[in-house]
Amino acid sequence: MDAILRNLSTSSVETRERDAAARPSREQVEAAVRTLLAWTGDNPKREGLIDTPHRVAKAYEELYGGYFECPIEALSRTFEEVGGYDDIVLLRDIPVQSHCEHHMLPFVGKTHIAYYPEGRVVGLSKLARVVDIYARRLQTQENLTAQIATTIDEVLQPRGVAILMEAQHMCMSLRGVRKHDVSTITTQFTGLFRDDPDEQDRFLRLIRN
């Protein structure tokens, strides 16, 4: 297991370093924002927009900072002193804010995570941290759900992982069909949750209680 974590962490670090080296400069980003402002029909040089390119670049560093963080490292510290506990661990209503990779518009909602420990547990905040790291990248909800489940499953190697994500997409409500208050639900199950319908049902009952 330690060898797996080392290999995954090393690969992640190398990827982040490569991506960082290939990033455009801040000046290039701000110039691109000015071009977009002009394309909308506005004047990038007017008072209200002069500092907008700088603010957008700074905001993007925060909104998409997940590309330069490692979800594997977030789960690397675990605890084996669990007093023999081997039942479900569930985090409900974890806020999710991400951006659709098709239109770069937000989708917002909640994620529920459950897993059955296999002799060790991870700090509860670390599970929420994994959600944040993947969410602060350009995503589809389906891919985001799968990434969270796969990472928890591969790093913690529990007896099962269950994820349910429910979100509303601005690319559907602000443009296109412009349908408001439409929720998208995605799920991913591994181990016990995948193989035993009763465990899936228990998970769904607990998050809807």
Does the annotation mark 70 as catalytic?
A: no
Question: Contact, 115 vs 150, CB < 8 A?
Answer: no
Does the annotation mark 100 as catalytic?
A: yes
Select which of 70, 99, 100, 139 is catalytic.
100
Q: What are phi and psi of 28, to 5 degrees?
A: -65, -40
Question: Contact, 49 vs 35, CB < 8 A?
Answer: no
Question: Contact, 120 vs 80, CB < 8 A?
Answer: yes
Does the annotation mark 101 as catalytic?
A: yes
Does the annotation mark 102 as catalytic?
A: yes
Select which of 17, 101, 118, 142 is catalytic.
101
Q: Is 70 annotated as a binding residue?
A: no
Question: Contact, 105 vs 167, CB < 8 A?
Answer: no
How far is it, in rounded angstroms, from Cα 209 to Cα 76? 31
CA-based radius of gyration for the chain: 20
Q: Is 54 annotated as a binding residue?
A: no
């529990």: which residue's tokens? 158
Select which of 30, 70, 147, 169 is catalytic.
169
How far is it, in rounded angstroms, from Cα 179 to Cα 188? 26
Select which of 27, 28, 61, 102 is catalytic.
102
Does the annotation mark 171 as catalytic?
A: yes
Select which of 69, 73, 168, 171 is catalytic.
171
Q: Tell me, what amino acid is at 65? A: G
Select which of 141, 147, 188, 200 is catalytic.
141
Select which of 73, 103, 166, 168 is catalytic.
103
Which residues have CB under 8 Å from 153's CB, separation 6+? Answer: 161, 190, 191
**Residue 197 CA, distance from chain mean position:** 26
Does the annotation mark 99 as catalytic?
A: no
Active-site positions read 100-103, 141, 169, 171
Bind-site residues for Zn(2+): 100, 103, 171
Bind-site residues: 100, 103, 171
